[in-house]
Amino acid sequence: MLSNVPSAFGLQRAEDAGIKSTCINHKDFDNRLAFDEAMIRRIDFVKPDIVILAGFMRILTSQFVNHYANRLINIHPSLLPKFTGVNTHQRVIEAQERWHGASIHFVIPELDAGPVILQGRLELRVNDTIETLQQRIHKIEHQLYPLAVKWFCEGRLSIQNNKVLLDGETSPLQLQTFDL
């Protein structure tokens, strides 16, 4: 487990679970490329089959993304391609959307634009706030992200010509509706 924030709860959670973890603080580097190169060296040391981003709120360089092409996966709290970037819950409420959700996607150099593997959605409630939406969306994320990672680890998930393949077939967008 790797974090760029020394106080990240994930570091403690990893330690409690007996998972080796480290922090490479982006503030210790003069520029984004130097930081990404340090992460690449650390990640490559363990020779991962997959790199999973979770709660990582830094834009990665093209060099980093391309280094892990077709095995770099991210989770985003919106129904991509809608609401890329940050403050998604607030923006969804302000736009008076009917649906909101989470997307699991392969990472490409363009922000939140990679091919979507899975999406989960829920219907907004009249009394939803940023906080209630965030809590509800986290429940979706906690169900879908492990499934996408499982598919990848089982060799069932891949990407070809910017299309997601599940069991070697072009996968129609996997969209699940949740009543949370």
Tell me whether residue 76 is one of the annotated catalytic residues: yes
Helices and strands counted in the chain (H then E): 5, 10
Rounded distance between C-alpha atoms, residue 71 and residue 158, angstroms: 8
User: Which of the residues 67, 76, 89, 100 is marked catalytic?
Assistant: 76
* CA angle centred on 55, ends 50 and 116, rounded to 5°: 55
Please answer whether residues 112 and 80 qualify as being in contact, where contact means their C-beta atoms are separated by less than 8 angstroms: yes
- What is the number of other CB atoms lying within 10 angstroms of the CB of residue 88? 24
Nearest one of 27, 24, 1 to 14, comparing CA atoms:
1
Nearest one of 173, 166, 158 to 50, comparing CA atoms:
158
Please answer whether residues 36 and 60 qualify as being in contact, where contact means their C-beta atoms are separated by less than 8 angstroms: yes
Rounded distance between C-alpha atoms, residue 130 and residue 93, angstroms: 8
List the catalytic residues: 76
